[in-house]
Structure 1
């Protein structure tokens, strides 16, 4: 079934490519420049120099987001015989626009030496389309294991097709002033039970002025599903609502435990903002936290650039950061949902050795040279993380109000669970689960009924997609 899906996507891309051929950006095509002719005399007897290689890097990342000039200059300084030409797929960093243009470029037969994907779905789908070359032989030759060398495990069907760049783990933002008021310490290793206990102790007041312990920004509209699998996402494997083979993972006990946690916190402890309020008032997680309506939020570390306050959302209190909670005291600390850049070697590249050399450098030393994001490379020192955080926080309005030590500690210990390749019908599954969750949290069905109804509907979706 999946092969048919990939074929269909590729066919569609090719049709678009033919229709758009007249308007394609001819300026993105590059040719390898030959070396200068050898001079006569003594130089003629010298060993010939290898021709310089030009690699074409296809990316959605903008200069503002990724410091490309600085980064590529640093690579060229170390590798003067390799030039990297940037192919900008979206001027505004729009990943959807960039993905469409990448598909068009591949369908049109453009040479793609290095390419980047912004999420597991794009990565898995383009690997299925044959756009990325496997890197296992390169990795074996170098003598490391990807899942040890990096904090994001990028294996798909037993092979590695990309190395991870930036590292954006989920964590918990805390109002440090509220913690002090309640006599609570900044957690460095805690469970979801601890999180619920903190939320209960941080909740204060009644009515319109009530301050809640926490705010969950989902699920909603079939998205923000992280909040429906809180106690699944911190598992090393099978951390999603579907398994790697596309089958249902709703029988996982931690799915039910997540539902129990959400119901308990909202209905019994009354420590989380009501789901009905989130939907009816179209609440936003930034304002809930920065307006101090909620003392804690579990969210992605893309917030690093905002936690010190911005012009739009000022910071008027002290902020701390804690790791994503685990399920049991004895579980590994730091496992969390993570977003990253998947950096791959193009399957049609004629310079795969050089392309891999760039990918390996970029996802390790290059991340430090870039200085924009926390790297997924596990060999980055705490000092390096601290320097990058200093740079990021310096761009905020009140960096002095951020507990930098807690932020660095959390980012350093965080590690992603294994990537679960998304199924083609995943969006259908998410919508069903979102609808059933709303019935549960709004009191229209109990947890067991919700799970039973969800499982039946999900099984039907899976069966219909296997015909």
Structure 2
């Protein structure tokens, strides 16, 4: 375990960081680790659910309370690992908890690569025996299959599908209809028509964030090969769709100047939410978690369009997918109770929570949308165009989820390092692709 923890991406081990997480033990309820044995024999056990969401982002207190009311044998407590609701900050603090031996029961990871790395580090408990006992066939129950080497270490919490959000006022001013079936070339043309002004007051048609998803725009909805590496760790960027994606970004950001330039995004530490809410960009390709946030923070009318296609001949609606991967900590002393909560949350619980879209196949999409919209103030929820949202969600189809090898985060980092050099004009595209390809393959070899 000590050896495997060392591979976690720069997570550990500074004394200041460890000190910053030292309060975890102080918050543990008396008798937790003994399953309530310190009190009466019938005292409920306390299990902790640990993620990065803040309370406004996640509505977790009401969610766990709903579970507690119907499960008197346990007391579920939610602990946020990030004051700002930042998933990467949350991952680092979860790793520190795992290293320090503090109580962990139910844990969440925000991406397949983050999840795979923690499986490799031995942080998560296999769930196969629990699932078999409950006669649960994951492929039949859930929209995505998070198996790692044939075993299950998590179930999908919120289901992430991507779409494009558009500022309806800016769309109307440009005389543009709400897209229902479009390509990335169409998107680029929309961005030209939606870009207005110059200098500090300039508003752009588009915004791309620093994540790897925005470096592989046309690859994201490739049905079978939507990730930068294949499941065996071999590179998947010597790929025409990766090349075209980077060419498109460079053209929009540095030639047409219709998308916020990469150097501005990085130098000004832009937050994609603020860019969209502030009207700096008329369009934002993003995930469906934003619907709940719009219901709470919307500033203007937002309409929705499907994720753009690489080619007009491609089928409409394919989108990159993801999830919150919710599992049971291998160190938990209450694994059955933790599993029971995971199973409840990934089926009924998300709908009770009312903020996210479910990965459970039996969830009712219309009720899911209504529950999310009802969480916001009526005047803000009214700013979400329900018709275009439902039309988009109904046309969405998931690409195959790629669970990468445990070292995939290292490969992502090297890929993005090369992408940055390209988008800032420091190297050409051929060198970018070739260098990234070599570095990705080198990481694979070094991890054999």
TM-score bucket (shorter structure):
0.7 to 0.9
The equivalent residue for 1:44 is none
CA distance in 1, matches of 2:172, 2:291: 22
Aligned length: 440
Match of 1:421 among 404, 409, 416: 404
Aligned partner of residue 282 in structure 2, secondary structure: strand
- For structure 1, list consecutive stretches of 5 or more residues without a partner in the other structure: 38-49, 219-223
TM-score, scaled relative to structure 1? 0.76
1:243 aligned to 2:241?
no
**1:164 maps to which of 143, 156, 161:** 156
C-alpha displacement of 1:157: 2.0
Larger radius of gyration: 1
Q: Deviations over 1:1-52 (max 9, x none)?
A: x99544666xx78x9999x999943734513347x99xxxxxxxxxxxx967
Contact 1:385 1:408 survives alignment (8 Å): no
Cα RMSD of the aligned pairs, angstroms, is 4.2
Once the two structures are TM-superposed, the CA of residue 97 in structure 1 deviates from its matched residue by: 6.5
Q: Which residue of 1 aligns with 2:35?
A: 32
- In the TM superposition, residue 163 of structure 1 has moved relative to its aligned partner by 1.0
Q: What TM-score do you get using the length of structure 2 for normalisation?
A: 0.79
Q: For the Cα contact (< 8 Å) 1:323–1:414, is it kept in 2?
A: no
Report the Cα offset of residue 258 of structure 1.
0.9
- The structural deviation recorded for 1:164 is 1.7
Q: Does 1:57 align with 2:48?
A: yes
Q: Measure the CA separation in 1 of the matches of 2:160 and 2:151.
A: 23
Whole-angstrom distance in 2 between the partners of 1:87 and 1:59: 6
Map Cα deviations across residues 85-115 of structure 1 (whole Å, 9 max, x no partner).
Answer: 3263648356566556655655566675433
Counterpart in the other structure of 2:74: 83
Cα distance in 2 between the residues matched to 1:288 and 1:94? 17
Distance in 2 (CA, whole Å) between partners of 1:301 and 1:122 is: 20
Tell me the residue number matched to 1:260. Answer: 247
Which residue of structure 1 lines up, in the alignment, with residue 353 of structure 2? 370
Task: For 1:193-272, list aligned pairs within 5 A.
Answer: 193-204=185-196, 211-218=203-210, 224-266=211-253, 269-272=256-259
| Unpaired segments ≥5 residues, structure 2 | none
For residues 314-362 of structure 1, what are the alpha-carbon distances to aligned partners after superposition, in whole Å with 9 as ceiling and x for unaligned?
Answer: 72x4221223223244336242243x43221343556544443322111
On the 8 A contact 1:169/1:416 being kept in 2, the answer is no
In structure 2, what is the Cα distance between the partners aligned to 1:278 and 1:106? 33
Q: Given the superposition, is the C-alpha separation of residues 181 and 444 from structure 1 closer, same or farther in structure 2, using an over 3 Å criterion?
A: same
Secondary structure at the aligned position of 2:389 is classed as helix
Map 1:64-213 onto structure 2 (within 5 A).
64-80=56-72, 82-86=73-77, 88=79, 90=81, 92=83, 99=91, 102-103=94-95, 106=98, 112-140=104-132, 142-204=134-196, 211-213=203-205
Cα deviation code 1:99-146 (max 9, x no counterpart): 566556555666754333344344223322333222234445555543
